[in-house]
């Protein structure tokens, strides 16, 4: 059927309208919806996200698969559902209590179409798409907190190191219910994030529900310009180094390599092992995660992605270079370790290169692609899942540590804090492993003595250091 014939068929599916004017308006609505399904977006040329979520957003700058001359009505389109959409569209346009223009209705329909897929796919207004670009460079304003929408409330994935959120004591799993005394419900992620932003130095009050607390917590934070320094490092004890990666930025791998080499050359004793801390690291730049994994591997696959399109299927392999020359290594993770953090932990675990210590990770194992749309707007769409070298899907499963150690807080007995994960998100993407249970729980480790200021009150890091010492002793035998 040619294009004209298909459109005529679509028009004839619209029945039961009393006036010619109604029929024409509904026909136009149907054609608008068809155009939404038929026109491919123009691909973007830069990106990645936070202050809001830190996402592993790749930028697809390849040409569109659909050229204008190829555009036609897809014969598989559900015409009955399109007719129903046009009826709803017309009823809202003519009968809703307040007048709403057609452009707003179409834009809201696009948002709903994406929001119904999974928590990470979304429509981005021009200013939001620009934020996606800025955050990949590690520069953005606000509080330094990664949040997602859950049950119409803001749920914290993790605060970012040395930002107002982390300094105020906000924790992974906290639920933000009010901002400056106004409910967050009904506003969506983007508007709530905008409310948390503002002039540096100004104050903002957050009302938070935290599992185990008797009532809501009131926290006053001071906004700041967020410039993340994602890599830190120091010697825990003679011979044992500690590095912290708080997010994966474009220069994180380079900075990590520099810090490790500096500790190796300036240490009081020969290096015996390394703790890599990825706790509360919400992700970031995929290439950076691959480079950091490659830093400790000499061969083999690091991560693969699998989607429906050929361009979504890829694999990243290690090069023959290990910055530690095979020295023992422990990776620290928790429920705030997501996405790119899980790629690193999964690769090092599958290759037996490091022991993973801490709590089960978040389970965000999906790939988002950013694409530019008309008038500077953008689209963030989930196109693939990540798989570890052994073929495990991270999505909604996460990485189970070899040694499970949960954070210790000095609270009343029986107080079990909430730990948020990908599976807690409404509409989360399924695992993709056909129901296979690829992770087994490990036994919980016990505390050991502290030996430095950095280790004080950090139960997980204490355990990681002692596991590393044990690995070092075994290696010397």
pLDDT at position 444: 36
pLDDT at position 96: 97
pLDDT at position 139: 54
Token pair belonging to 201: 């130095």
Report the DSSP pairing between strands 224-227 and 139-142.
antiparallel
**Three-state SS at 400:** coil
Task: Give the CA distances from residue 66 to residues 43, 252, 396, in Å, rounded to whole numbers and listed in that order.
Answer: 11, 36, 33
Give the HSE-up count for residue 154: Cα atoms under 13 Å, Cβ half-sphere: 31
Report the DSSP pairing between strands 240-245 and 153-159.
unpaired
- The C-alpha angle 49, 129, 175, rounded to 5 degrees, equals 50
Measure the CA dihedral 107/113/116/118, to 10°: -90
Residue pair 125/190 in contact by the 8 Å Cβ criterion: yes
What is 301-357 written as a DSSP string? EEEEEEESSGGG-EEEE--S--TTTT--EEEEE-TT--THHHHHHHHHHHTTSSEEE
Q: Tokens 């590690």 identify what position? A: 138
pLDDT at position 50: 34
Token pair belonging to 211: 């599992």
The model's pLDDT over 186-207, given as tens digits with 9 standing for 90+, comes to 998 888 988 998 888 899 999 9
- Identify the segments of the chain with pLDDT beneath 50: 2-20, 24, 27, 29-30, 32, 35-55, 61, 66-71, 410-418, 437-451
- The C-alpha angle 437, 435, 361, rounded to 5 degrees, equals 50
> What is the Cα 366 distance to its own chain's centre?
8
Round to whole Å and give the CA distance between 70 and 72: 6
Q: Quick one: CA dihedral 69, 129, 367, 354, positive or negative?
A: positive
Residue pair 135/51 in contact by the 8 Å Cβ criterion: yes
194 CB contacts (<8 Å, ≥6 apart)? Answer: none
pLDDT at position 4: 44
**Catalytic site residues?**
339, 350, 364
The model's pLDDT over 325-352, given as tens digits with 9 standing for 90+, comes to 999 999 999 999 999 999 999 999 999 9
Domains annotated for the chain, with CATH where assigned, are 139-227 (2.30.42.10), 231-411+423-476 (3.90.226.10)
pLDDT at position 39: 40
What is 72-117 written as a DSSP string? ---TTS-HHHHHHHHHHHHHHHHHSSS---HHHHHHHHHHHHHHTT
Identify the helix (H) or strand (E) that includes residue 467: helix 459-476
pLDDT at position 418: 47
230 CB contacts (<8 Å, ≥6 apart)? Answer: 138, 245, 246, 247, 248, 249, 252, 255, 284
């Amino acid at each position: 059927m040619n294009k004209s014939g298909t459109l005529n068929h679509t028009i004839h599916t619209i029945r039961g309208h009393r006036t010619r004017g109604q029929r024409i308006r509904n026909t136009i609505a149907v054609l608008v919806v068809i155009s939404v399904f038929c026109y491919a977006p123009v691909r973007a040329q830069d990106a990645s996200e936070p202050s809001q979520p830190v996402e592993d957003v790749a930028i697809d700058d390849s040409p569109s698969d659909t050229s204008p001359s190829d555009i036609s009505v897809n014969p598989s389109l559900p015409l009955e559902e399109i007719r129903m959409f046009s009826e709803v569209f017309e009823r809202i346009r003519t009968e809703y209590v307040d007048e709403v223009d057609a452009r707003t209705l179409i834009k809201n329909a696009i948002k709903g179409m994406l929001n119904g897929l999974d928590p990470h796919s979304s429509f981005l207004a021009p200013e939001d798409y620009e934020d996606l670009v800025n955050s990949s460079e590690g520069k953005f304003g606000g509080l330094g907190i990664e949040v997602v929408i859950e049950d119409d409330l803001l749920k914290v994935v993790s605060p970012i190191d040395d930002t107002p959120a982390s300094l105020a004591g906000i924790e992974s799993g906290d639920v933000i219910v009010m901002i400056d005394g106004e409910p967050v419900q009904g506003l969506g992620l983007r508007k709530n994030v905008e409310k948390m932003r503002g002039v540096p130095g100004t104050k903002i009050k957050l009302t938070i529900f935290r599992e185990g607390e008797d009532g809501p917590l009131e926290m006053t934070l001071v906004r700041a310009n967020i410039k993340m320094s994602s890599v830190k490092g120091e010697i825990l004890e003679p011979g044992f180094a500690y590095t912290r990666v708080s997010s994966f930025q474009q220069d994180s791998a380079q900075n990590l390599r520099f810090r490790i080499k500096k500790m190796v050359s300036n240490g009081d004793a020969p290096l015996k092992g390394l703790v890599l801390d990825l706790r509360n690291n919400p992700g970031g730049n995929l290439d950076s995660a691959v480079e950091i994994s490659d830093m400790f591997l000499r061969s083999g696959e690091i991560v693969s992605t699998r989607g429906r399109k050929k361009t979504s299927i890829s694999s990243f392999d290690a090069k023959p270079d290990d910055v530690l020359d095979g020295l023992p290594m422990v990776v620290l993770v928790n429920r705030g370790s997501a996405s790119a953090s899980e790629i690193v932990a999964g690769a090092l675990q599958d290759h037996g290169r490091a022991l993973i210590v801490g709590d089960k990770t978040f389970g965000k194992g999906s790939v988002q692609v950013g694409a530019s749309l008309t008038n500077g707007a953008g689209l963030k769409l989930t196109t693939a899942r990540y798989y570890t070298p052994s073929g495990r899907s991270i999505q909604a499963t996460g990485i189970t540590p070899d040694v499970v150690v949960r954070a210790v807080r000095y609270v009343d007995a029986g107080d079990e804090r909430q730990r948020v994960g990908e599976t807690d998100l409404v509409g989360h993407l399924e695992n993709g492993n056909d129901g296979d249970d690829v992770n087994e729980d490990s036994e919980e480790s016990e505390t050991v003595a502290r030996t430095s200021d950095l280790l004080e009150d950090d139960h997980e890091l204490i355990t990681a250091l002692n596991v590393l010492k044990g690995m070092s002793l075994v290696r010397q035998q």
